[in-house]
Amino acid sequence: MIVDDSVESAETIVTALRNGGIAVRPWRPQNQEELASMLSGQIDLAILGQAQQIPMSALQTQIAGSGKDIPIILLAEQIEENALVEAASHGVRAIALRHRPAHLLALVRSEWDDLQARRGLRRIEAQMRETERRCDALIASSRDPIAYVHEGMHIRANDAYLEMFGFESFDDVEGISLLDMIAAQYVDEFKQLLKAMSKGEPPPAQYKLDARRVEGDTFPATMEFATATYEGEPCIQVVFRRREEFDPELAREVEGLRQRDQVTGLLNRPTFMVALEQAVAQAGRSEGQSGFLLIEPDHYARILPEFGLDSADALIAALAAHVASVLDDSVVAARFGEHIFALLMDGNYARTHALAEIVRNAFAQHVFSVGSRSATVTVSIGGVQIGEKIASIAQVLNRGTEAVRTTAELGGNAISIYDPAASDRAEEERIERWVEQLREALVGDGFLLHYQPVLNLQG
């Protein structure tokens, strides 16, 4: 929306934005009634020029009344201290110099990026609230005794928790300290644990003690902690398990089976996605890079009938075993799809590409034998270098899938890795080549000097 009394000025602004590569669908209200009507439509940004009919205060008031997030950019001939303070008091986010179109373009792009970020944050918050609602429903119906504790006090507990400690309803436990559920000989030690967690220290994965029921009898239990939020407030999720029901060895075995694909022995997709989300979050915090690779056997639909449809699982297992044979313990490997494998490793682009080349070469030089059939199976490898510029799960998966599909369509037995920092790296390599050439010229007397006499053209 452009708020300006002059049609020519508004057209100049629109032309400057379009020439700068910004798609514009302009609105131009001529009075406050038209402004109110237009605000009911889809407005992303307001640019305020010289407008007598719609002063700055009226524009800000109507935008605030609409309940919409519409940033305001003020056009000015020059930026003065008083004007800057007044504009800020009326909700103006930036002031652009009227005679500097490049300045306006930069501010429009910046405000658009900020607006998209705010909209994205609101979507994420809405999704988080929905996720919390679903989690709360799952916890309520869970057979595990679960409670939420804030500053040592119960703020939520499910039916299994109430039953374990002998309470009839949550009203009986609401506001009661977690210490009241602990046997007397463990209270002092548990107080220190609660103090440590209140200071932000991570809770232990498990904590063994004797729990106390409302009647006063005790039983051996194992507590599990996790940081959480409840109704927007930070808290701690506590799970009580009767210790005689808890077999660590069996639990580890069950957890291992839950995380693994039964055919290949590699991690399954849900478990791999947790590791991928952690890598993406780490990149978003500028704490390092990771490489993500997808491996797909070339011409799988043609190869499978040659081995026999009844040998599909055996073929997948053989392919997975060969992938695992060339990896070290630092690489996370998973069965990502029916016949697609995924790898995740820490490191820069060079390491990611080197590992991809090792895998590609290992398949190209190997003959697979399944039953009475043997064949060479090459692979197409597509991937993404996960860094701060692509710290999004959706972007990583889309780029990786696109890369492996493109590689397969071009014949396979090849590698394609998307690296958002490739242009930066190419520029660094170009500069390094120039520096090296200059050094060689200095050492080898490779400079050729030219000169141009300076002439006075004025006579």
pLDDT of 300 above 80: yes
Asked if the model's pLDDT at residue 362 lies above 90, the reply is yes
Q: Tell me the per-residue pLDDT of 189-237, one tens digit each, with 9 for 90 and over.
A: 988 888 888 887 877 878 889 999 988 898 889 899 888 888 778 888 8
Mean pLDDT of the chain: 86
Q: What is the pLDDT of residue 426?
A: 63
Which pLDDT band, with edges at 50, 70 and 90, does 427 fall under? low
* Structural domains of the chain ordered from first start: 2-118 (3.40.50.2300), 142-246 (3.30.450.20), 262-420 (3.30.70.270)
Give me the percent of the chain exceeding a pLDDT of 70.
94
- Name the pLDDT band for 424 (thresholds 50, 70, 90): low
Two tokens, residue 345: 């490793």
Choose among 385, 160, 182: nearest CA to 289. 385
User: What integer is the mean pLDDT of 313-327?
Assistant: 92
Residue 247 has pLDDT above 70, yes or no: no
pLDDT digits (tens, 9 = 90+) for 137-192: 888 888 889 999 888 889 889 999 999 998 988 888 888 888 988 999 999 998 88
Amino acid at 213: R
Query: CB–CB of 147/156 below 8 Å?
Result: yes
Check residue 251 and give its pLDDT: 66
> For the chain, what's the residue count?
459
Between 340 and 53, the higher pLDDT residue: 340
Q: Can you state the percent helix, strand and coil of the chain, rounding each to 5?
A: 50, 20, 30
Give the residue-averaged pLDDT of 100-122: 89
Containing 234, the helix (H) or strand (E) segment is strand 233-242
pLDDT, residue 99, reads 83
The band of 407, judged by pLDDT with boundaries at 50, 70 and 90, is very high
How far from 349 is each of 21, 144, 192, 284, 334, CA to CA, in Å? 32, 44, 45, 17, 20
What integer pLDDT is reported at residue 448 of this predicted model? Answer: 78
340 pLDDT more than 90: yes
Check pLDDT > 80 for residue 243. Answer: no
Average pLDDT in the 237-251 region? 74
Token look-up 């309520």 returns 140
Lowest mean pLDDT among 71-85, 226-240, 241-255, 298-312: 241-255
